[in-house]
Amino acid sequence: MIHHLNCGSMMKLDATYDGPPPLNAVCHCLLVETERDGLVLIETGLGTDDVQRPQDSLAPEWVELAQPELRPAETALRQIEQLGYTASDVRHIALTHLDVDHCGGLPDFPEARVHVMEAELQAALKEAPSRRYRPAHWAHGPRWETYPPDGTGDEWAGFAGVRQLTGVQADLRLVPLGGHSAGHAGITVRDGEQWLLHAGDAYFYHQEIAVDAAHSHPLLDVVQLSAQVDESLRIANQARLREAATGGAGEERIRVLNAHDPWTYRSFTGA
């Protein structure tokens, strides 16, 4: 079973076309219940420390930009507890990258193995502290499981270098999707007859991967353009995601989602 969790409401957004209601940006995380691997958390959103003591773990300029609501009930830990589990039941965490709103909950799950691209971890350790990377999120010493950017791995649905998560028997894979950050990745998980591809911040708005009249969101694009490290790679990966989302990935049925689009989140949860 896959649970869709919002682990951090942020600024209010208006859609770029008539119809969708204004909604708060989200931190869209997935909690995967597996048969043999315990719980696998895809992204963590903001954590308990971020909510209770933001001055210690979040950069003031990031808080001003993102306008997080910092609700304790929205942390992954509290939502997992509401489902009847404990922090120790989360045995694996897979991250698209190490920006604050994607890994802030790491300290809440100190026993979990944390899967991330090696290039992303090295970039974070080198750059931190910065607006995007905060040492408080890994000061507890996570059990890192890193994946080198050496071109190895499998091809999946038109994406190269795809790797099964180490030590996980369930079908979860890391998909290189660089451009937004040094080692950005997507994470796939099978959901019945289809795949879910969590693309993190490889795109920010559902219309960016639309077939017709694809366009970005003017407010979210400010974040997207200011944070990117490789524009051409980011754009190329968005094209691949658009193809996957619109049925151009061969025989695979893929539903693509991202981290912050509230209308995509609502399409999964109805809330």
**Interatomic CA distance for residues 128 and 59, integer angstroms:** 11
**Interatomic CA distance for residues 231 and 237, integer angstroms:** 10
C-alpha separations of 177 from 18, 52, 130, 221, 228 in Å: 31, 32, 22, 18, 12
More confident residue, 98 or 152: 98
pLDDT tier at 149, thresholds 50, 70, 90 = confident
Residue 68: CB partners within 8 Å, gap ≥ 6?
Answer: 8, 9, 10, 46, 50, 54, 58, 101
**Interatomic CA distance for residues 30 and 10, integer angstroms:** 18
Helix (H) / strand (E) element for 222: namely helix 218-227
Q: Is the pLDDT of residue 2 over 70?
A: yes
Q: Give residue-wise pLDDT tens across range 164-186.
A: 999 999 999 999 999 999 999 99
For range 133-152, the mean pLDDT? 93
Sign of dihedral through CA atoms 46, 48, 54, 58?
negative
pTM summary value: 0.96
Q: Is the pLDDT of residue 246 over 90?
A: no
Q: Give residue-wise pLDDT tens across range 195-240.
A: 999 999 999 999 999 988 889 999 899 898 999 999 999 999 999 9
Question: For the chain, which residues make up each domain, given as ranges?
Answer: 2-269
**Interatomic CA distance for residues 171 and 148, integer angstroms:** 20
User: CATH homologous superfamily for 2-269?
Assistant: Ribonuclease Z/Hydroxyacylglutathione hydrolase-like (3.60.15.10)
Q: Give residue-wise pLDDT tens across range 71-129.
A: 999 999 999 999 999 999 999 999 999 999 999 999 999 999 999 999 999 999 999 99
- Cis peptide leading into residue 129 (ω within 30°): yes
